[in-house]
Structure 1
Amino acid sequence: MNGLHLIADIYSCQSEPGLLIERERLEALCVAQCNEAGLTPLGAYFYQFLDEQGEAAGVTGTVVLAESHLAIHTWPETGDATLDVYVCNFSRDNSGRARQVFQRVIGALAPQEVVRHEVIRGRLPVNEAVAS
């Protein structure tokens, strides 16, 4: 289960109008970027939130990958989003593919600020383990 988990809090997006608010466009972007990076989408579920007037509001979605997943959530009222890309590195190292998807989705959102975290998941080899 060793892998790489990329996490971003994305602020003040300047993307094309509608990208944070239109479920179909956001889903198409995420699935396409996973495919282009060489990952294997198995399915996607994106949900369109509606405001009190019944108009499109934020979107939450996941792309389930053979290698693990992508998850994204948007807050168009503030121009913000969160993005997680997690890949397992069981049969091959998918770290570069994950970084490509992560960068391209963030790039499409055109944020003014991004807070990023990179988490290596799984057990370290014995010679790299840190004694507590």
Structure 2
Amino acid sequence: MHGLHLIADLHDCTCPAAHLLDRAMLAHFCADACRRHGLTVVGELFHAFTSPDGEPAGVTGTVVLAESHLAVHTWPELRAVTVDLYVCNYSGDNSTAARRLFDTVLAHFAPGSVDKKEVARGHLRI
């Protein structure tokens, strides 16, 4: 159960609009980034939203990892993104890989400001 949970709210993102709107591009980026940082992708699901008038309105997606998950939600109208990354450390300490992946994902959106938290999870009670 022992793991690391990293969460962030990104504001005033200056990335290209496609980073916030293109479901396929975001899915590819997230899965590829997980692999590049040594984490094991076992599945993914990304969904693009549309406004009532049919315009693109953001993406929500999750990459399921053997080590746990990466979730990303975009709000292009606010130039905002939320990121949620949790890795467990059952078979080895994945904290360094998680922090590097987290930094890569945050940099991808080029936020003007970031609110982030780091939480140690699942310490076993004896």
For Structure 1 versus Structure 2, the TM-score category normalised by the shorter chain is over 0.9
RMSD (Å) for aligned C-alpha atoms: 1.2
Larger Rg computed on CA atoms: 1
Equivalent position amino acid for 1:26 in 2: L
Equivalent position amino acid for 1:24 in 2: A
Q: Which runs of 4+ in 1 moved over 6 A?
A: none
Higher helix residue share = 2
Q: Which SS does the other structure have where 2:38 is aligned? A: coil
CA displacement at 1:17 relative to structure 2: 2.7
Q: Does 1:5 align with 2:8?
A: no
Q: Residues 4-40 of structure 1: CA distance to partner in whole angstroms, max 9, x if unpaired?
A: 0000000010012311011111111110110000000
Q: Percent identity?
A: 51
Pairing of 1:1-132 with structure 2 (within 5 A): 1-123=1-123
Q: Which SS does the other structure have where 2:27 is aligned? A: helix
Q: Residues 105-126 of structure 1: CA distance to partner in whole angstroms, max 9, x if unpaired?
A: 1001000000010000012677
TM-score by length of 1: 0.92
Equivalent position amino acid for 2:65 in 1: L
Equivalent position amino acid for 1:79 in 2: R
Distance in 2 (alpha carbons) for counterparts of 1:125 and 1:13 = 41
Distance in 2 (alpha carbons) for counterparts of 1:101 and 1:125 = 29
Query: Which stretch has the larger CA shift, 91-100 or 50-59?
Result: 50-59
Distance in 2 (alpha carbons) for counterparts of 1:125 and 1:111 = 38
Distance in 2 (alpha carbons) for counterparts of 1:13 and 1:5 = 22
Q: Residues 36-62 of structure 1: CA distance to partner in whole angstroms, max 9, x if unpaired?
A: 000000010000000122122110000
TM-score by length of 2: 0.96
Q: Which SS does the other structure have where 1:103 is aligned? A: helix
* Gaps in structure 2 of 5+ consecutive residues: none
Q: Which SS does the other structure have where 1:52 is aligned? A: coil
Aligned residues: 126
Equivalent position amino acid for 2:7 in 1: I
